[in-house]
Amino acid sequence: MDLFLSTFENRIDKKGRLSVPAPFRAVLERYRDPLYLFKSLTEPCLEGCGPERIGQIVDAIDSMDSLSTEVATLQTMLSSAQEMKLDREGRIMLSSDFIAFAELQGVALYAGIGRSFQIWLPDRYRTREADARNRAKTSGLPRLHLGLHGRQPEGGTR
């Protein structure tokens, strides 16, 4: 499984074009997947992913009570989603709505978070990162349940 990992900073030009980091493009190009961006529901940033992740979100919504407030919340996220086209230089065109939502100002920070990534105002992301590291120091790490997700341990049989 290919993942979006690490952080990268890129400039946003006057037309709103933003380069997608080469490692992120490689993940998408390997499967010829489109790139989707949407407004985060919980953070002042944009979130990005490929169609597999969007499909997982849609599947989760389909398994829920269609009249619930949870479904309405998730549908709000999907309604802001846009398929982004990469130009020959590997750039995407951010809408003025996306730029305003994330309060981007000439530079954007990509934060890879596994199956998806986020696009932040760099200083805001660094503050969030410092807060998370301080929380880990004072409150301890979150409990992780590291499962095999369908994979057999080495030497195991199915």
Mean pLDDT of 127-149: 87
Residue 75 pLDDT > 80: yes
Q: What is the mean pLDDT of residues 24-36?
A: 90
E-state strands within the chain: 7-11, 17-19, 35-39, 46-49, 82-84, 91-93, 107-112, 117-120
C-alpha dihedral, 84 to 8 to 100 to 79, nearest 10°: 40
With cut-offs at 50, 70 and 90, classify the pLDDT of residue 79.
very high
Q: Would you list the domain boundaries of the chain?
A: 7-139
Predicted confidence band of residue 152 (pLDDT cuts 50, 70, 90)? low
* pLDDT of the residue at 158: 42
Domain 7-139 top-level CATH class = alpha beta
- pLDDT value at residue 149: 59
